[in-house]
Amino acid sequence: MGKNDYITAIEISSSKISGTVGVKTYEGIKILAAASTPVIGFISKGVVRNVDETSNAINYIINSLESSLDNIAIKKAYVSLAGLTVHSIRSKVTRTFENYTKITPDIINDMAEENDSTFITPEGYTRVQAISQEYRLDGMIDKNPIGAPTRVIEGNYLNIVIKEQYLKQLNDSFEQAEIKIEDSFCAARMDADIILSTDARRNGCALVNIGADTTTIAIYNSDMMRKLIVLPLGSNNITTDLCSAQISRDEAEEIKITRGYKPSGNDFGPLDSDTTNTIIKARMNEILQNVKYQVEEFNENVNHLIFTGGGSKLKNLNLLLDEYLPNFKCEIISEPQFTLVSSDNVNINGIFSTALYSLLKQGNENCCEELKPTVYTPPVEQVLKFEDEQPKEEELKPENVAEVPKPTKQPSRNGFKKVLDIFKQGTFDFLEQATKDDGDNNDDDN
């Protein structure tokens, strides 16, 4: 990676499209530009529904970022993968040896390639990533089998798949915007890299990201992602339910953030407490019960739930977690903390997310081109030549111009003088005759 490589990251979600440009320095990642634009209908549940409108939104992000940079053109970007159809499927590959055989990197690579070639992708889906899990050597778990002798090795893999048509619509949007996708990464993994501590991943936990239209559940255990599932439920469902009580969408959003679930207290705002609590409790209970089911189905004694995403900002969410998930240790991290260094004129409030930050960390290829500044070149002065003007001697090229014989005698300047004298004399005679005629006319009048 070069010294001045610019990394571009773009995150597409159901509520907004965000982008940033940064460079990696000794102090960390420095943010040079950031921008976002709201999504109004053309992306639903994290899936591109309208390619043209999505492409226009991407162009808006690119133009906004470039306007904050000097003579920089963005050509490609790192992109997060999310949406309703993203989920994980387990697979395994087994190798058996006649004698005890020491495991080498070649054996591990061959097993990974076999998983790539033999994995059966569900119809209509495509695999975007295969994550190596632990290995079993003669039935015993070993996370680092290289160098260990065994007769049987079993490799376990977590394959991330997405609906093929939805991935095509995402790729078409970037292609139409003339931005190459340098690489794409699963958004849930990137969130986990930033939010989850090593202890949480090792001991077992579920990262629950409540987004606008979806809720993503990533289950970790023994320091590895074990399951990924996306539910078609999100905080927008609460907003829609509140709007059914004849209030505006803006009022509903404000109620979620500023008031939320409030079991007691004075009524204020467009809805009374009983109506608000009934609506919020019903929808959050549906979301939380689905989360509980997915975690318990995993069946690996995961009892630590970490909530994040825009939906986790619901005021007094902790009270609902205590009520509906009493057997789980619940934690809310609605505003993940990470260290950013940004230029003075860059506003990252409300734009930056864990996915964008992680994309910048993952990026290792320059995404931009430095444009050469336009230099003004004055027009070449043109010299008009009259037909009778003789060219300069150095302008005549012997190979192109026939030799003109030089005159043996220079024309005399006296000839021109004689012509001038005649002209002057003629003019004088004409004026004298005109004066005389004028005098004669006056005498006749008298």
Instruction: Give the pLDDT band of residue 246 (cuts 50, 70, 90).
Output: confident
pLDDT band at 382 (very low <50, low <70, confident <90, very high): low
Confidence of residue 164 (pLDDT cuts 50, 70, 90): very high
CA-wise closest residue to 298 among 237, 194, 387, 221: 221
Distance CA 13, CA 42 (A): 11
Instruction: Tokens for 290, please give them.
Output: 């689905």
- pLDDT number for residue 228: 96
For strands 304-308 and 329-332, give the pairing. Answer: parallel
pLDDT of 411 > 70? The answer is no
Q: Residue 434 has what pLDDT?
A: 54
The span from the CA of 41 to the CA of 145, in Å, is 49
Q: From residue 431, give the alpha-carbon distance in Å to each of 127, 422, 442, 443.
A: 107, 14, 17, 19
Does residue 157 register a pLDDT over 90? yes
List Cα–Cα distances, 238 to 29, 211, 415, in angstroms.
36, 12, 107
Average pLDDT over the chain, rounded to whole?
84
Statement: residue 436 has pLDDT above 60:
no
Domains in the chain with CATH codes:
7-87+162-370 (3.30.420.40), 88-161 (3.30.1490.110)
Torsion sign (Cα): 94, 100, 101, 102: positive
Three-state SS letters, the chain: CCCCCCEEEEEECCCEEEEEEEEEECCEEEEEEEEEEECCCCEECCEECCHHHHHHHHHHHHHHHHHCCCCEEECEEEEEECCCCCEEEEEEEEEEEEEEEECCHHHHHHHHHHHHHHCCCCCCEEEEEEEEEEEEECCEEECCCCCCEEEEEEEEEEEEEEEHHHHHHHHHHHHHCCCEEEEEEEHHHHHHHHHCCHHHHHHCEEEEEECCCCEEEEEEECCEEEEEEEECCCHHHHHHHHHCCCCCHHHHHHHHHHHCCCCCCCCCCCCCHHHHHHHHHHHHHHHHHHHHHHHHHHCCCCCEEEEECHHHHCCCHHHHHHHHCCCCEEEECCCCCCCCEECCCCCCCCCCCHHHHHHHHHCCCCCEEECCCCCCCCCCCCCCCCCCCCCCHHHCCCCCCCCCCCCCCCCCHHHHHHHHHHHHHHHHHHHHHHHHHHHHHHHHHC
Does the pLDDT of residue 184 top 80, yes or no? yes
Compute the residue count for the chain: 446
Can you give the pLDDT at residue 284?
93
Q: Please give the pLDDT value at position 287.
A: 96
Which segment of 155-169, 312-326, 405-419 scores lowest on mean pLDDT?
405-419
pLDDT for residue 408 is more than 60:
no
End-to-end CA distance of the chain: 111
Which of the residue ranges 30-44, 47-61, 249-263, 429-443 has the most confident prediction, judged by mean pLDDT? 47-61
191 or 430, which is more confident: 191
Q: Is the pLDDT of residue 262 over 80?
A: no
Does the pLDDT at position 420 exceed 70? no
The per-residue pLDDT for 402 is: 53
Across 24-28, 107-111, 160-164, 239-243, least confident range: 24-28
| Mean pLDDT on 203-211 | 94
Give yes or no for residue 346 having a pLDDT over 80: no
User: Which stretch of 260-264, 292-296, 300-304, 381-385 has the lowest confidence by average pLDDT?
Assistant: 381-385
Residue 438, pLDDT above cutoff 60:
no
The confidence score (pLDDT) of residue 101 equals 96
What are 20-61's pLDDT values in tens digits? 999 988 877 888 999 999 998 899 988 999 999 999 999 999
Residue 414 has pLDDT above 90, yes or no: no
**For residue 170, what pLDDT band results from cuts at 50, 70 and 90?**
very high
The backbone torsions φ and ψ at residue 164, rounded to the nearest 5 degrees and listed phi first, read -60, -40
Query: Which pLDDT score, from 0 to 100, does residue 124 have?
Result: 95
**Residues facing 308 on adjacent strands:** 209
Note the pLDDT of residue 399.
55
Residue, of 259 and 105, whose pLDDT is higher: 105
Neighbours of 42 (CB within 10 A): 17
Residues 297, 219: contact at Cβ < 8 Å?
A: no
Can you give the pLDDT at residue 391?
A: 55
Say yes or no to pLDDT of 318 above 70. Answer: yes
pLDDT given for residue 273 in this prediction: 78
Q: What percent of the chain has pLDDT over 90?
A: 53
Around Cβ 338, how many Cβ atoms within 10 Å?
Answer: 14
Is 168's pLDDT higher than 90?
yes
CA distances 217 to 82, 124, 198, 293, Å, are 12, 22, 18, 11
Instruction: Provide the pLDDT for residue 371.
Output: 79
Q: What percent of the chain has pLDDT over 70?
A: 77
Provide mean pLDDT across the span 127-133: 93
Across 357-369, average pLDDT? 90
